[in-house]
Amino acid sequence: MKVRMKSGERRADIVRSAIHVFAEKGFRGTTTRELAAAAGVTEPVLYQHFHTKSDLYCAIIEAKAGEVSTSAAALAELAASGDDRAFFGAIGEAILRRYQEDPELGRLLLFGSLERHEMADLFFDRLYANFYNMVTGYIRRRMRQGAFRKVNADVAARGLIGMLSYHGLVTLLFPKQFSISKPRQTADQMVSVFLDGIAEKGYRPEEPMPPAPRAESERPDSTHSTGS
């Protein structure tokens, strides 16, 4: 005999199943009939818990925001320590692990941005805005302390997060060509590039070689016969 779920359990089950459908078809491409079928309920039951498709999508965003908030608390503690490599390394590991362990979140974000539906801004506000603000605020504080040179903190934060997110994104788009085997090691390498740069210290380029003379046929005043 099928066990009847409590209202809260049913609601959570609908949210979990809806994540898979939205991640495959996007917000606009998903119907309430498909959402109900994925959850194993009828459409009237679906509407009992969520009056609109947007209400269900909002519940998904809140569920994902709750998952992210756990790691955000640990990151805030590291930010207070002032250990740049530990803080940025943890940021990088969190980003890469999210792509590795929850690829559906990446797909939801991509669909939301491409479809430009009304939930896209809420997605950013609940899941990413505080994250960006934390990194930007940290960089500004370290500049005031003299640890970092004066740069645009917003650009620097996007540079760090973008470098890490891109690596995660290509594993989502091209899983056969790219993978994340060691998230923390990869994150630490990228943080090293971000903090230390890629140019070898003390390196001085030699005097550049003069350009090679162009061939006769490449000179502006040369002509070519095409025949008649």
Question: At which residue do the structure tokens 């006769």 appear?
Answer: 216
Q: What tokens appear for 198 in the block?
A: 């890629």
Q: What integer is the mean pLDDT of 140-166? A: 96
Q: Residue 65 falls within a domain, yes or no?
A: yes
**Which domain does 16 fall in, by range?**
7-196
Q: Residue 150 falls within a domain, yes or no?
A: yes
Q: Residue 207 falls within a domain, yes or no?
A: no
Q: What percent of the chain has a predicted confidence (pLDDT) above 90?
A: 61
Q: What pLDDT does 222 receive?
A: 47
CATH of the domain at 22: 1.10.357.10
pLDDT band at 47 (very low <50, low <70, confident <90, very high): very high
Number of domains in the chain: 1
Q: Residue 1 falls within a domain, yes or no?
A: no
Q: Residue 211 falls within a domain, yes or no?
A: no
Q: Residue 216 falls within a domain, yes or no?
A: no
Cα separation of 160 and 183, whole Å? 15
Q: Please state the three-class secondary structure of 25-89 as a single string.
A: HCCCCCCHHHHHHHHCCCHHHHHHHCCCHHHHHHHHHHHHHHHHHHHHHHHHHHHHHCCHHHHHH
Give the DSSP letter of residue 180.
Answer: -
Q: What tokens appear for 150 in the block?
A: 């004066």
pLDDT in tens, 74-126: 899 999 999 999 999 999 999 999 999 999 998 998 888 888 877 778 888 88
Q: What is the pTM of this model?
A: 0.80
Q: Give the number of other CB atoms < 10 A from CB of residue 15.
A: 19
Q: Residue 221 falls within a domain, yes or no?
A: no
Q: What pLDDT does 223 receive?
A: 46
